[in-house]
Amino acid sequence: MGVRRGGRSSGMALLGLLLLVGAVPVDGAEAARGRKESMPGPRGPKVPRKLPASVALPPVAPPESARLPVRAETGRYANSLEALSPAAARHERDPAASYSYCLRTVTTYEHVYYGPSGSLRRGYARAVQHGTGFAYRVKDGEFFVATNHHVASRPEVTGGATPVEGVPNGARKVREAVYIVSSETDDRTSGFIELAPVLADPLTDLAVLKTSRPLQVLPFRFGRSAELAVGNLVFARGYPLGVMPAFNVGRVTNPSHQDTDSGWDHQDFVTDAALNNGNSGSPVLAISRQTGEPELVGIFHAHYRSATGMGVVVAIDEVRGMLETLRPAQREAGERDERAEGRGLLAEHGKPVYFPFAGLTARAVMLESGTRFEVYDEFPTSEIVQVCLVSRQTGPRLVLPSLEPVASERGPLREPVDQLERGLWASLATALRLRRELAGDDGSPAARKRIAQLRKRLSAASDSQKELLSVIDFESQSHGPRPASAAPAEGG
């Protein structure tokens, strides 16, 4: 990740020039405003410095080259809090009118281990995290709260790319609840408002929850994140670190950013507002130049650990439909029959296809009896097959090199072999779609986005595919040791 370099703005340069020519007397404390400084002891009262009465400085205008151009604001959203209407300003100053809430997610995990006598035991661990949510709708006596998916839900299984602090790797989630609390120090044993899940969409990092307990609802309309521009002022109301409610202000530094990190896939915008852990799920608003009213333009969900002033906000245009309909987004990729598509693309290709799988190389070839998949250990330096699977209409068949075919219906292999078949077809279809996109790449932003998404999808599945191959390798040991031999014959 790049490092953002600081520097003096043109406004600061003009201020320095005015100080030099003596046009504006400025207190030293005023000149340092905006810098956070550590000062030992209590801060004393501020005493403004005055010039002696005998000194009279005539007003001196800065030279023409140093004058800042006065540019009229354009676009839908304002660049200053001064555009806020008096009614909206009064609302935002009223602590009792807050529509943001501190959320506490409590997740219980079960982990299995062996005791001293070799007996199998179960242990339980609890993980607690805090974030922000905001009430945005009331319907039929139910109040709906929006937040981030990663705030409202922890991983199903810990470890690998989804560790949970204080919980052993490989633990399974067995219980989860989300509550509204006053802060992270709220240690009441009862009286919390529990929220029920309504909607979860990991790709946009969105979750919607609900309660019948009355909440303060966001009084402002949904905006249009597509109309944000660099320099627009935005503000967020949230609970940084879960400690206290806070009002943070910043500017849009990038109005459009495709976010494909951590399994996400959505449009963000970037702000330099000072947002922290615990702010995840905070509503982010911009001020309409036409009405002076704030409008919801996004939901803060992440920031870069190694940088400051780089908070990323899920654009409201990405999640508006789900917030309004309370239904998951319908995505083309999710509705595809990848087996049928993969078979069609493989037939169209007309020859065996090599593609990545589990960090290795896999090959797919069409046979009369079905489609044969082989996963190679060290291709292309070796053609040793780690696993071979024949996908047929009657079900998948696992073929271990130099051993008898293993039906997927057999005991503990049934589920992993079925998962392997689905995973191979999914990777094959994705790889062939990627080839087609690369062949027709016209260099447009839309084409680059599709290519990046397909590459991301191929690599994102690698860890789970490796684990699946390990399970199959372990379970198949009951059929005898596997020699390091070449691939079995091409028969079905």
> Mind listing the pLDDT tens digit for each residue in 382-439?
888 888 999 887 778 887 654 455 544 445 677 788 889 989 999 999 999 999 999 8
Task: Quickly name the fold that domain 77-330 has.
Answer: Thrombin, subunit H (2.40.10)
How far, CA to CA in Å, does 462 sit from each of 46, 108, 135, 423, 475?
60, 27, 38, 10, 20
pLDDT of residue 224: 96
pTM for this structure?
0.63
Domain(s) of CATH 2.40.10.120: residues in the chain: 77-330
The 8-class DSSP code of residue 162 comes to: B
pLDDT of residue 297: 97
φ/ψ of 400, rounded to 5, equals -95, 135
User: What 3-state class would DSSP assign to 471?
Assistant: helix
pLDDT of residue 194: 95
* Separation between Cα atoms, residue 148 and residue 202, nearest integer Å: 9
- Residue position matching structure tokens 């409201």: 316
The count of other CB atoms within 10 Å of the CB of residue 171 is 24
pLDDT of residue 478: 54
Is the CB of residue 47 less than 8 Å from the CB of residue 250? Answer: no
Low pLDDT (below 50) residues in the chain: 1-70, 333-336, 402-403, 407-410, 479-492
Mean pLDDT of the residues in the chain: 79
Closest CA to 436 of 370, 337, 353, 332: 353
pLDDT in tens, 330-345: 765 443 467 788 888 8
φ/ψ of 286, rounded to 5, equals -120, 160
φ/ψ of 154, rounded to 5, equals -95, 170
The distance of Cα 59 from the centroid of its chain, to the nearest Å, equals 53
pLDDT of residue 343: 84
- Residue position matching structure tokens 């005991």: 411
pLDDT of residue 282: 95
